[in-house]
Amino acid sequence: MLLSVAIPILMKVSFPEEVSPQTRMVFDVIENLPDGSNVLLSYDFDPASEGELLPMAQAFTRHCCAKGHKQYYMTLWPLGSPMVDKSLDTIRSEYPDMIYGEDFVKFDYKAGGEVVIRVIGTDLRAMFPLDSSGVSLDELPMTKNIKNLQDMDVIVNVSAGDPGTKQWVQFASTPYSLTTVSGCTGVQAPQMYPYIPEQLAGVLGAIKAAAEYEQAIAEKYPEIASNPSAQEAKRRMGPQLIAHSLMVGLILLGNWIFFVSRKRGEA
Amino acid sequence: MEKPQGSNTLIWSIVFIVGAIMLLISLSTSRTGQVWVTPTHHAFTVTSETNSNGGAVWKSIDPSTATNGDITWTTYAAVPEVELEDKITSNEASLSWPRTIGLWLAAMFTLFILSFLVGDNPAYKFAEAMVVGTSAGYVMVIGIWDVFVPDLLANLFPETIKGWVLPGLSPEPLEGLGYALHLVQYIIPAILIVMLLWNLMPSGGWISRWPIALFIGVTAGFRMIGAIEADLLAQIRAGIVPLWQTTDGVFDFWLSFKYFTITIATLSAMVYFFFSIEHKGFIGKTAKVGIWFMMITFGASFGYTVMGRIALLAARLEFLFGEWLHFIPAS
Amino acid sequence: MKRLVPLTIAIVAGFTLIIAYFFPIAQQWSDNVQEWFKILAVGAMVLGGGNLIKLHLKKVSAKRKGWGYSMVTIVCFFGVLIVGFLKVGTPPNTNYPDYVWSGYYLQEGSGVWWIYLHMIVPLTSMMFAMLAFYVATAAFRAFRAKNIEATLLLVTAGIVLLGRTYAGVWLFDAWLPESMLWLRFDNLTEWIMNAPNTAGNRAIMIGIALGTVATSLRILLGVDRSYLGQD
């Protein structure tokens, strides 16, 4: 398994990506919003899932920046704050015209999981009186007129577990009929499909969907296509194919040995 | 079945020797394991203005013009690989020893955990002990600075906290009964925290039942509302769809087949979970069909799970080959 | 008293939230309860850390097997706590440079940032990445198509594994006719996720929701008192 992942990485093996209908749904949600819309991005994951989720989180960030959307970042996980910082670093380095407090803002981590979602559903300042840099929300241009979650046009949730997409669906998307899209781990993705399309507008499931999303963004925005940092998920699909083929091969081999042994035993 | 010790040792010896050779090659041909940084100097001088909280307003100035009384400090940012040689040549970048040592430690820790493939060993156990200690400490630090200080202490001692860590705070001016109620509102959770921590004492553990009961009650209330609205009613509503689907007025076979499959699968899987009737005869056969659909569900979940795990491994190997060894461009 | 008061707290807290959902006039009480929950969650983190240290200190003082590793845990824990609490290496907030303690503790270059990037990230992410090896071992050793159910699971897993990579397209592109494109593994995977997977997970979700409601009601009506422990 180690070699099946290491060798494609060293040889920079890559394959073409075709955007699937599910990924296209998520892409269209962000793309069809009027420029400058309010987008809440909640990064509910930690370094353990960074390999799978950070590429799609960064893709969401670049897409929102390309559309000029106002981005409100938060996290429900204690170790999620540095993940948000990576997106803010991307904005600062790749979109230097965007100004903190006018185009993007970060809120600190707050404990409580679904309680946080429930509270900001009615009153944002009850949970976040200050932003991450200690400035009052009433003093920031992009937050002074925001009362609660219902002032957001879209919620983007990148989730690795609990609290995560399920809680956003239960306490934000369903009660307030808010458009929500999710990027989640491979473990969680199949469980989110029942929520589509009424409660979740779309789901990006695992690294494959992240690669497709990067492809969709690259097709629409060629300037992002030429940025190597924006193709991280696509780079990881090379090792994925080899490792998946190995897995299928191992399953077939194991079963072949099992059936041959059973036949010999019967004989 | 006995573990083939001899061939295992041979394989791992070859892996380590090849790895050591690759490391030596990399050290001699590139800036392996080095982190270079560029400094950014900050300087601020006080102005005569005051902000909305009555505090002084400081403005950013050119660091070269800073004088006594001005506040200055330097931050460092890592140089991306593509700019490294240029910045080194022009003397803008310097080798950062803390970050370089940190990078090597990160690589060592990664290899320590990876060594578990050989078998349980002291290096892995050491790394495991570190994971536990650092994660627990880190989560507590976050809890203190992101919740405890701004949400509890800032409400109990607003002026003190404002003068110490949160100068942007604008506490509501409260007096009399309003102030008393506000204090009570935040003294209660402070007392509950003390009661919760009483669990660590050798006796009197029952005292922690009060805050635990609050947790349980709130969670039960929340989960019930969320489960009914989003998982029960909404899912039942989503499951009731016409089985005769049309597109542009024409019967759409594949769409109808999809919804037919979803309906049959959902109903048969729910029959499987209904244990008040014995699973025999028609009910038994329906439950069997339900199991088959759930096996398809679990197979899909397994496929996605594998995808997720491999992505995590790929990310770590990219760190080792990219950021540490410089065999590939760092991501 | 030892059981009656916490029982009352649980019931009142839970019902406050439910009543506030239907009667917005009770929203203020609900907000108070939620605020206490949020602050108490930090107390739970402190309790978790405290328990961890208590456990490992007992191991060290009794010099039980592996006590050296417990020392490592304790040293790391207090090291991170001291660096984090004192905001070692953190410059002030640029909006308030005269307040030395106003800086963001996770800022690039700070002590906590260094610990996070060079210790927590590699340790936790590699710990989880090891699962890839266990999954491969399990696939070879344990996954056997012994009956129809197991066969269905394995066949679906195989289709999804290949369908979610370029192999799902490449294996069929050269020879599959246009009318049979639905058999291509990527399209088949899409259908599996949208139809049988959705249905199976929907059924499980409804079952879990009913179970959650039942359990929550048992707690809120005082029938289930297991969380109160023994007297």
Give the pLDDT confidence of B160-174 residue by residue, as tens digits.
Answer: 888 888 887 776 677
Is residue B174 one of the residues assigned to a domain?
no
Q: What pLDDT score was predicted for residue B164?
A: 86
Q: Measure CB to CB from residue C38 to each of A21, A111, A251 and give the nearest one.
A: A111
Q: What pLDDT score was predicted for residue B4?
A: 55
Coil, strand, or helix at residue A237? Answer: helix
Residue A177 in this model has a pLDDT that exceeds 50: yes
Is A258 in Cβ contact with C121 (below 8 Å)? no
**Residues 125-164, chain A, touching C (beta carbon < 8 A):** 126-127, 132-135
Residue where a domain terminates, one of C80, C107, C131: C131
Is residue B76 one of the residues assigned to a domain?
yes
Q: Could you give the C-alpha distances from C57 to C53, C63, C71, in angstroms and in order?
A: 6, 10, 8
State the nearest Cα–Cα gap between A79 and chain C, in angstroms.
9
What is the torsional sign of CA A157, A186, C44, C119? negative
Same domain, C158 and C115: no
Q: Which residues of A69-82 are buried (b: 16+ CB within 10 A; e: fewer)?
A: bbbbbbbbbbbbbb
Give chain C's domain count: 2
**Residues 207-226, chain B, touching C (beta carbon < 8 A):** 208-218, 220-225
Q: Measure CB to CB from residue A134 to each of B168, B313, B327 and give the nearest one.
A: B168
Is residue B128 one of the residues assigned to a domain?
no
Is residue A118 one of the residues assigned to a domain?
yes
Is residue A8 one of the residues assigned to a domain?
no
Q: Which residue of A has its CA nearest to B52?
A: A139
Chain B residues with CB under 8 Å of C202 CB are: 235, 238-239, 262, 266, 269
Same domain, C125 and C139: no
Same domain, C10 and C94: yes
Is residue A86 one of the residues assigned to a domain?
yes
Phi, psi of A144 (to 5 degrees): -65, -25
Burial class for B97, CB neighbours closer than 10 Å (0-12, 13-18, 19+): exposed
State the nearest Cα–Cα gap between A109 and chain B, in angstroms.
6
Cβ–Cβ contacts within 10 Å for residue C194, how many? 17
Same domain, C19 and C126: yes
Q: Which residue of B has its CA nearest to A177?
A: B230
Is C199 in Cβ contact with B293 (below 8 Å)? yes
Same domain, C15 and C121: yes
Query: How far is Cα C149 from Cα C130, in angstroms, rounded to an integer?
Result: 28
Domain extent for A185: 17-232
Q: pTM to 2 decimals?
A: 0.90
Cα angle for residues B107, A235, B301 (degrees, 5° grid): 90
Chain C residues with CB under 8 Å of B148 CB are: 39, 42
Q: What's the pLDDT tens digit per position in A9-44?
A: 989 888 888 899 999 999 999 999 999 999 999 999
Same domain, C138 and C46: no
Give chain B's domain count: 2
Q: What's the pLDDT tens digit per position in A204-222?
A: 999 999 999 999 999 999 9
Is residue A29 one of the residues assigned to a domain?
yes
Instruction: Name the pLDDT band for B1 (thresholds 50, 70, 90).
Output: very low
Is C79 in Cβ contact with B137 (below 8 Å)? yes
Is A118 in Cβ contact with B146 (below 8 Å)? no
Coil, strand, or helix at residue A140? Answer: coil
Q: What's the pLDDT tens digit per position in B32-62?
A: 888 999 998 989 888 888 776 677 788 888 8
Query: How far is Cα C70 from Cα C53, in angstroms, rounded to an integer?
Result: 9
Residue where a domain terminates, one of B95, B114, B137: B95
Same domain, C53 and C107: yes
Task: Flag whether residue A111 sits within 8 Å of chain C, measured between CB atoms.
Answer: yes
Is residue A212 one of the residues assigned to a domain?
yes
Q: Quote the percentage of chain C above a pLDDT of 90.
A: 52
State the nearest Cα–Cα gap between A158 and chain C, in angstroms.
17
Residue where a domain terminates, one of B55, B70, B95: B95
Average pLDDT over residues C73-81: 95
What are the tokens at C44? 């739970």
State the nearest Cα–Cα gap between A32 and chain B, in angstroms.
23
Which chains does B contact via 3+ CB–CB distances below 8 A? A, C
Task: Flag whether residue C46 sits within 8 Å of chain A, measured between CB atoms.
Answer: no
Q: What pLDDT score was predicted for residue C93?
A: 86
Q: Measure CB to CB from residue A248 to each of C128, C158, C193 and give the nearest one.
A: C158
Residue B176 in this model has a pLDDT that exceeds 60: yes
Q: Which residue of A has its CA nearest to B170?
A: A136
Is A207 in Cβ contact with B311 (below 8 Å)? yes
CATH number at residue A78: 3.40.50
Query: How far is Cα A235 from Cα B139, in angstroms, rounded to an integer?
Result: 32
Query: How far is Cα A165 from Cα A96, in angstroms, rounded to an integer?
Result: 31
Same domain, C124 and C17: yes
Domain extent for C93: 4-131
Domain extent for B64: 36-95
Q: Quote the percentage of chain A above a pLDDT of 70.
A: 99
Task: Report the residue of C5, C8, C9 to disrupt the B interface, i.e. the one with the largest count of B CBs within 10 Å.
Answer: C9
Same domain, C109 and C139: no
Same domain, C10 and C73: yes
Average pLDDT over residues B170-183: 77
Same domain, C57 and C17: yes
Is residue B71 one of the residues assigned to a domain?
yes
Contact residues for B281 (Cβ-Cβ < 8 A; gap 6+): none
Is residue B48 one of the residues assigned to a domain?
yes
C215, C226 in Cβ contact below 8 A? no
Q: CA dihedral defined by A16, A18, A23, A27, rounded to 10 degrees?
A: 90
What are the tokens at C190? 């899409």
Same domain, C120 and C175: no
Average pLDDT, chain B: 87
Q: Measure CB to CB from residue A111 to each of B147, B229, B306 and give the nearest one.
A: B147
Residue where a domain terminates, one of B76, B95, B114: B95
Give chain A's domain count: 1
Higher-confidence residue of B324 and A266: namely B324
Query: How far is Cα A238 from Cα A11, in angstroms, rounded to an integer?
Result: 9
